[in-house]
Amino acid sequence: MKTSFNWRGTLLGLATASVIGQCAAFSFGGAEEAVIIPPPTLDENTQVRSETAIFAGGCFWGVQGVFQHVKGVKNAVSGYAGGSANTAQYERVSNGDTGHAEAVEVTYDPAQVSYGSLLQIYFSVAHNPTELNRQGPDSGTQYRSALFLKNAEQQRVAQAYIAQLDAAHSFNKPIVTKLETYNGFYPAEEEHQDFLTEHPTYPYIVINDLPKVAQLKQLYPDRYQEKPVLVKAGQ
């Protein structure tokens, strides 16, 4: 199987020996523009105060960084979903043959932000849902657009919202986001957690991910919180 070149492992290794990974280290392009889309007409109905959802949309640095700035999000952890526990390491996942996608597990308070609102940010700001097995400079099934559904309610809301957006031609191409059955989430290595916050001058972050956070603030000011919810804050 053809695999994506490990730009990040090559170039980031020149800057620090402690951080190596599979997201591309440099892009000659820029971040894709956010797309303004309507909120979902169908949303979750729950009375609980804490839920979790799994989002995959390319390199987990940017997806995590976006959701860490959303009000109502309690935690956002970078990791792997779609494969088995014994292959949930970045060196294996970067080969593109494990079934895993780089993903982010978001824990949130539905009283403050619903699953539908998180989906709106996911489709609009966090990534491009019309790109098949790639995001920006990164290519391979490990960078696919996918929702790992934890219950029937999430599936109901996600299916309805994708149908709504496609019917309205909200994007210039059909949405290719896969709706996949949740079979486990495996947190990524420590060096991948809070990467956007810890490395704001790293070229990949500057070019591809900081614009996403800026677009979140611009398009969804009522959803945006300036201080990110960090994984390592409690350590």
Decide: pTM greater than 0.95: no
pLDDT at 86 over 70: yes
The single residue of 12, 59, 63, 101 carrying the catalytic annotation is 59
- Tell me if 55 is assigned to some domain: yes
Q: By residue range, what is the domain housing residue 206?
A: 7-28+38-223
- Tell me if 91 is assigned to some domain: yes
- Tell me if 148 is assigned to some domain: yes
Residue 14's CATH number = 3.30.1060.10
More confident residue, 84 or 234: 84
- Tell me if 64 is assigned to some domain: yes
- Tell me if 129 is assigned to some domain: yes
Cβ distance 215 to 34 under 8 Å? yes
* Cα torsion angle, 82, 84, 90, 94, sign: negative
Total number of domains constituting the chain: 1
pLDDT at 33 over 60: yes
pLDDT at 21 over 60: no
Confidence at 46, pLDDT banded by 50, 70, 90? confident
pLDDT for res 24? 60
- Tell me if 139 is assigned to some domain: yes
- Tell me if 229 is assigned to some domain: no
Read off the pLDDT of residues 106-163 as tens digits, 9 standing for 90 and up: 999 999 999 999 999 999 999 999 999 999 899 999 999 999 999 999 999 999 999 9
- Tell me if 155 is assigned to some domain: yes
pLDDT for res 234? 63
Closest Cα partner for 116 from 158, 168, 72, 163?
Answer: 158
Q: Check if 59 is active-site.
A: yes
